[in-house]
Amino acid sequence: MHATYMTMNLKHKIFALTILPLLLALAVIALLVWQRAEDIADQQAKTIEEALLTSKRAELKHYVSLALSAIEPHYQHGLADANAQARAKAALRALSFDSDGYFFVYDLTGTNLVHPRQPDLEGRNLWDMQDRQGRYVIRALVEAAKAGGGYPRYGWEKPSTGQLTEKLGHVVLLDRWGWVVGTGIYLDDVAQAIAEARKRAGDNARNTLYSLGGIALVAVLIVFGAGLALNVSEQRLADDKLKTLAQRIVTLQEEERARVARDLHDGISQVLVSTKFQFELAQYKVEHGGVGAADDLRKGIDDLSSAIHEVRRISHDLRSSILDTLGLSAAIAQLANEFELRNWVAVNFDNQLGDFELPDHEAIALFRIAQEALTNTERHAEASEVQIKLVKEPRQVRLAITDNGQGFDATRIDRDGGIGLRNIRERVEHLGGQFHMTSAPGCTRLEVCLPLSLEAHT
């Protein structure tokens, strides 16, 4: 259950590490696209506004020129001629353009002299009038006229709607009369054009983001599909490996049972039968007064000792009592001594583990590895010398077994069977260690390194 949980967590992490960078990259791209769209919209708005204002400035200049042409005869009549000024005012009130276009006149003190659309303003001093943005409207018009004509912007009530609207004005100064003559064009169409441009830019940006969202969705679906397919494939491989492992466990169990049965049948069983025969023969001789009963008893006792030794050997192969009582170093030393006596092969055991005690699972693993390695050496190596080295290093325990036998092709371990060596490798990998195997004629070396767990203590 824990392994399944860890595997699922690992799959989720892999999936997250695949999806999250993709989504993050798309989010960054989307942000850059949106920012770029905003910049483009601002540039377009400024371009459109400047183009429209340029056009309106030219239009205003044309309108003011027409107004000046209309009052030019009266202006040239004479200085401060009340009748000429009255006729000029009447001419300006009669002029208009579009539905909201008109001409106005102020004196240099800010008093309105002509306002066709708001006649109630005529005669009023509007020098301190401000629009909603706090701009002094009449002061700006007078200052622009004094400066030689300009195009001030201000807010004014639009006649057709009755609402305050941004307006672009143009004024000129008639020096002899002290008049500021001008007109203005409302800029609501400019604001509308800019708003439409921004809307188009926003729509384009949103469409681009929708496209990116679609791409992200397709990419996520592709990754999810690939991950699902990979998961199914890995699950099948895992199932196959589990089946193979289960079969190997069953096979190894059967092989171990067969070995124990063979040892019992070929070893202990025969010795016990021989012992029984010797004791029966001794009994017969004692009962019938025959000679030699004592010799038969001695031979029976010797056979019984051999049976006891064989039982101990089988028990030791199944589980070393020395490993449980004296530790790993003593157990490997016993393995080395038994191997040396059994095969007449010189064994040099270099024990640098000292009094260090390993956790049971690590000690058992190293003992079984040494046992399996010596068994392989005994069966296949034809060696005359074996070296065993057990060393405690700062973060690991290292076991190295070397012989001077005939060697073999280490690259063919997995292809040609090698169940014992595969068992060693799997034990080491299960404990998170490292396994190295090298072989050549005259030198075969097996080295295992296991990391020291938190349970290890001195």
Nearest partner of 382 among 448, 431, 442, 328, judged by Cα: 442
383 or 419: which leads in pLDDT: 383
Q: For 34-38, 146-150, 192-196, 223-227, which range has the lowest pLDDT when averaged over its residues?
A: 223-227
Highest mean pLDDT among 36-40, 96-100, 173-177: 173-177
Cα 31 versus chain centre, distance: 20
- The mean predicted confidence, pLDDT, of the chain is 80
CB count, 10 Å around CB of 113? 20
Residues 173 and 177: their CA atoms lie apart, in Å, by 9
Q: In which order are the strands placed within the sheet that holds 112-114?
A: 112-114, 103-107, 179-186, 164-174, 153-157
pLDDT of residue 254: 60
Contact between residue 431 and residue 424 where contact means Cβ atoms under 8 Å apart: no
What are the distances in angstroms from CA 32 to CA 22, 27, 39, 71, 230? 15, 9, 10, 58, 34
Fold of 2-186: Beta-Lactamase (3.30.450)
Of 156-165, 229-238, 410-419, give the lowest mean pLDDT range. 410-419
Amino acid at 443: C
The pLDDT of residue 249 is: 56
Split at pLDDT 50, 70, 90, the class of 1 is very low
CB of 292 within 8 A of CB of 278? Answer: no
Residue-level length of the chain = 458
Which residues fall within 8 angstroms of residue 433, CB to CB, at 6 or more apart? 396, 448, 449, 450, 451
- For residue 372, pLDDT over 90 is answered with no
Under 8 Å CB-to-CB from 443, ≥6 apart: which residues? 402, 403, 404, 407
Greater pLDDT, 303 or 416 = 303
* Residue whose C-alpha is closest to residue 183's, from 71, 88, 53, 64: 64
Q: Three-state DSSP class for 304?
A: helix
* Least confident span in 43-52, 89-98, 134-143: 43-52
pLDDT per residue over 76-127, tens digit each? 876 567 888 888 899 999 988 888 899 999 999 999 999 999 999 999 999 9
Supply the pLDDT for residue 364.
87
Residue 245 has a pLDDT of: 62
Q: Is the pLDDT at 7 greater than 50, yes or no?
A: no
Q: Alpha-carbon distance 364 to 319, whole Å?
A: 9
pLDDT at 257: 64
| pLDDT of 260 | 62
Q: Above 60 in pLDDT, residue 445?
A: yes
Q: What CATH architecture applies to the domain 320-451?
A: 2-Layer Sandwich (3.30)
CA pair distance 171, 183, nearest whole angstrom: 7
Confidence of residue 447 (pLDDT cuts 50, 70, 90): very high
Domain residue limits, the chain: 2-186, 320-451
Higher-confidence residue of 292 and 95: namely 95
Q: Which residues, in sequence order, are bridge partners of residue 347?
A: 386
Q: Are 126 and 137 in contact (CB under 8 A)?
A: yes
**Distance between CA atoms of 441 and 382, rounded to whole angstroms?**
11
The pLDDT of residue 12 is 64
Query: pLDDT above 70 covers what percent of the chain?
Result: 83
State pTM to two decimals.
0.45
pLDDT confidence of 5, banded at 50, 70, 90? very low
